Amino acid sequence: MQENNKTLGEFIIENQKDFPYSSGELSRIFNSIKLAAKVVSHKVNKAGLVDIIGGVGEKNVQGEDQQKLDVYANEIFIQTLINREIVCGIASEENDDFITVEGSDKSHNNKYVLLMDPLDGSSNIDVNVSVGTIFSVYRRITPIGTPVTLEDFLQPGINQVAAGYVIYGTSTMLVYTTGCGVNGFTLNPAIGSFYLSHPKMTIPADGSIYSVNEGNYVHFPQGVKDYIKYCQLEEEDRPYTSRYIGSLASDIHRNIIKGGIYLYPTSSKAVKGKLRLLYECNPMAFIVEQAGGKASDGFDRVMEIVPTSLHERSAFFCGSTNMVNKIEDCMLKAKLSKY
């Protein structure tokens, strides 16, 4: 999918018109993201050579064990964004509360807030499996010049103005959308620049891959069990192939390219789901929809859910449109059968 030698910076400048209301912020936000991503990528690639793998002995607000790279990536992204005074607020999966960003003149004149999962799938780092960063950008609701409030972050996904992910794998890739399609850029580590490698990414309407942690099968809702059985049936185009990495960005990235569905349902162990609506579900839903796919909580469009808390969780089914339609059908039939 190689195209030309167009860099991420050049591409953003050429497509600035696709970012309404902006007067250069898009370029500045992505300059910060790509800088932080390069620093994190460098550190990830040194895992095993320096003391950066393993846990820190603490839990984050989610009650999950924090990895050293979780903390490192979180600090790098936050400090890079704060130092460049581009956004007025930051919310991270690793932080209890949002961060208010003041300018050097103590003003609050920036227009955008950024939400992120700084190191998605960090438990995989110890075994040299791909991890990622997921981010989402919204235009603030409160008046410019005032401090941000919780209201600025609790917006439905349909209000996103940009979203993306970075994969730290065999190569480091940054994939993003501003609502005008999806494009992917690969880092050339020799010169430190991201180059357009995957222009106009689209996900097939059908696929043959399903991604789910089947170890939790007995805890899943009946509709999800029915769908998994459907995937495993011997038919003309089935059984489907099961592929689950455990890093959301990596699983979604594969499925965008090859066609497939990612499933993280509610369960008897996680009655509200496990993935975070603001840091994981909404940005991935925006990207997949812009690539021609679909994202659902099993019944409704994910991006239309109005969040009520920073760390709200949701069921998440995302990928090829026909595959998501099928699981919604299974969920509805299972629900109706109870009555």
Separation CA 229–CA 233 (nearest Å): 6
Whether residue 183 is annotated as binding a ligand: the answer is no
- Whether the Cβ atoms of residue 293 and residue 258 lie closer than 8 Å to each other: no
The answer to whether the annotation marks 227 as part of a ligand binding site is no
Residue 213 assigned as binding residue: yes
Does 130 show up as a binding residue in the annotation? no
β-sheet with 294-296: strand ranges across: 241-242, 209-211, 261-264, 316-319, 294-296
- Is 165 a known ligand-binding residue? no
Distance between CA atoms of residues 67 and 62, nearest Å: 13
Query: 166 near 37, Cβ under 8 Å?
Result: yes
210 is in an annotated binding site: no
Q: Among the residues of 85-221, which ranges form H helices?
A: 150-153
Determine whether the annotation assigns residue 23 to a binding site: no
Strands 112-120 and 160-168: unpaired
Give CA separation, 290 vs 109, 135, 176, 180, in Å: 30, 15, 10, 7
- 29/33 Cα distance (integer angstroms): 6
Q: How far is CA 76 from CA 32, 34, 133, 167, 236, in A?
A: 10, 11, 12, 16, 49
Whether cis (ω within 30° of 0) applies to the bond prior to 199 is: no
Does the annotation flag 96 for ligand binding? no
The answer to whether 263 is annotated as binding is yes
Residue 280 annotated as part of some ligand binding site = yes
Instruction: Give just the sign of the alpha carbon dihedral 13, 140, 309, 291.
Output: negative
Contact assessment for residue 175 and residue 287, using Cβ atoms and an 8 Å cutoff: yes
Partners of 174 in the β-ladder: 166, 185
Q: Is 244 annotated as a binding residue?
A: yes
In angstroms, rounded to a whole number, what is the distance separating the alpha carbons of residues 253 and 132? 10
Annotated binding residue at 120?
yes
Known binding-site residues for Mg(2+) equal 93, 117, 119-120, 280
Known binding-site residues equal 93, 117, 119-123, 213, 244, 262-264, 274, 280
Known binding-site residues for substrate equal 120-123, 213, 244, 262-264, 274
